[in-house]
């Protein structure tokens, strides 16, 4: 047993040295957020990264938790192209759940493992300047396009990293809810993958890690592809070998890579200590997207 532990530590050493002093942005969501044991393992991973000199920044989702509260309040959810139509009352619930309960639960878990986490939303320090998102839908070719208004659904216009730099410089771990604000003060719900990508770019992060409920990208035989280039990702999307909810994650990964992020691993967050296994082992456990 001792030999196994020493082998693991020796394997991890060059990776710890490589990543020390760098920033890693992690999109946290899926089943890992609602399973207590997985959540504790995630918090341990994050605390350990900070202890060895790496600067983790967490961007989290919270769709299932929002659904639960809306259902209890009798507010019906509708979706347009996979995004929740967010009217005023729904936005109040989204902000309460994401910026309140979910955010502070993650902060508490990391702090219980010895880290120093601080919860923020994109409204703090005008960290995430947002703009309203509209969709254009064409039902039939001979009809004019229809503009769909999803309400308080936004996209990132600009990221101000000052608050995050200050916190990281003082030894804190930023935990960020994907909520932004526009120039007039309106609040917007933003896709967490999109926010994580933009923050990784703004912080010149070494890695953007996207936690999902699947192992990564699989080949035609169902085997995991450990590394894949952007051109291959685009071909797989065109041929529908990559589809559904994986597409926006891939698009966010590609955007980050094209703007200075070195690699963007997509890993299975339902595996305990998946972040450490991805960063500190020779083989990793997911699919890393590279230029």
Neighbouring C-alpha atoms within 13 Å toward the C-beta of 55: 18
pLDDT of residue 139: 63
pLDDT of residue 179: 97
Go through the domains of the chain in sequence order and give each one's CATH number: 20-208+251-286 (3.40.1160.10)
d(CA 96, CA 191) in angstroms, rounded, equals: 16
- H or E stretch covering 228: strand 227-229
**Range 80-105 average pLDDT:** 89
**Range 53-64 average pLDDT:** 95
pLDDT above 80 (res 193): yes
Helix (H, G, I), strand (E, B) or coil at 222: coil
**Range 45-61 average pLDDT:** 97
pLDDT above 50 (res 1): no
pLDDT of residue 81: 67
Angle of helix 246-257 relative to helix 192-202, nearest 10 degrees, comes to 10
Give the residue carrying structure tokens 């030999």.
Answer: 3
Band (2; pLDDT cuts 50, 70, 90): very low
- The number of helices, as runs of H, and strands, as runs of E, in the chain is 10, 16
d(CA 8, CA 30) in angstroms, rounded, equals: 28
pLDDT of residue 138: 62
Contact 277, 271 (CB under 8 A): yes
pLDDT above 60 (res 22): yes
**Range 198-205 average pLDDT:** 98
Q: What is the tens place of the pLDDT at every residue in 60-72?
A: 999 889 999 999 9
Q: What is the tens place of the pLDDT at every residue in 114-145?
A: 999 999 999 999 999 999 987 776 666 666 67
Which residue would you say has higher pLDDT here, 137 or 56?
56
pLDDT above 80 (res 241): yes
Q: What is the tens place of the pLDDT at every residue in 217-239?
A: 988 888 999 999 999 999 999 99
Taking the alpha carbons of 79, 84, 85, 87 in that order, is the dihedral positive or negative? positive
| CA 11, chain centre distance (Å) | 27
d(CA 56, CA 172) in angstroms, rounded, equals: 9
pLDDT of residue 82: 67
d(CA 8, CA 14) in angstroms, rounded, equals: 11
Window from 25-34, 47-56, 184-193 with minimum mean pLDDT: 25-34
Whole-prediction pTM value? Answer: 0.93
Strands 23-28 and 55-60: parallel
**Range 201-208 average pLDDT:** 98
pLDDT of residue 134: 78
Average pLDDT in the chain: 91
């Amino acid at each position: 047993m001792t030999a196994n532990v020493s082998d693991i530590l020796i394997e991890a050493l060059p990776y710890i040295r490589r990543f020390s002093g760098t920033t890693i942005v992690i999109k946290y969501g899926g089943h890992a957020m609602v399973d207590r044991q997985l959540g504790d393992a995630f918090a341990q991973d994050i605390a350990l990264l900070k202890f060895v000199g790496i600067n983790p920044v967490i961007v989290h989702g919270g769709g299932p938790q929002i659904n639960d509260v809306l259902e209890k309040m009798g507010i019906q959810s509708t979706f347009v192209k996979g995004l929740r139509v967010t009217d005023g009352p729904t936005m109040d619930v989204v902000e309460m759940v994401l910026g309140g309960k979910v955010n502070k639960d993650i902060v508490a878990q990391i702090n219980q493992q010895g880290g120093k986490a601080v919860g923020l939303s994109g409204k703090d320090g005008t960290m995430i300047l947002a703009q309203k998102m509209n969709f254009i839908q064409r039902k039939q070719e001979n009809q004019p396009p229809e503009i769909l208004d999803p309400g308080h659904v936004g996209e990132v216009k600009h990221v101000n990293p000052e608050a995050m730099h200050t916190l990281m410089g003082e030894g804190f771990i930023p935990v960020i809810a994907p909520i932004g604000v526009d120039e007039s003060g309106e609040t917007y719900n933003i896709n967490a993958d999109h926010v994580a990508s933009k923050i990784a770019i703004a912080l010149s992060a070494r890695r953007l890690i996207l936690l999902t409920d699947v192992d990564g990208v699989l080949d035609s035989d169902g085997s995991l592809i450990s590394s894949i280039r952007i051109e291959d990702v685009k071909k797989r999307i065109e041929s529908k070998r990559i589809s559904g909810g994986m597409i926006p994650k891939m698009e966010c990964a590609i955007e980050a890579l094209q703007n200075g992020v070195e690699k963007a691993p997509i890993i299975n967050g339902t595996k305990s200590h998946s972040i450490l296994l991805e960063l500190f082992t020779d083989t990793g456990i997911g699919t890393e997207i590279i230029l």
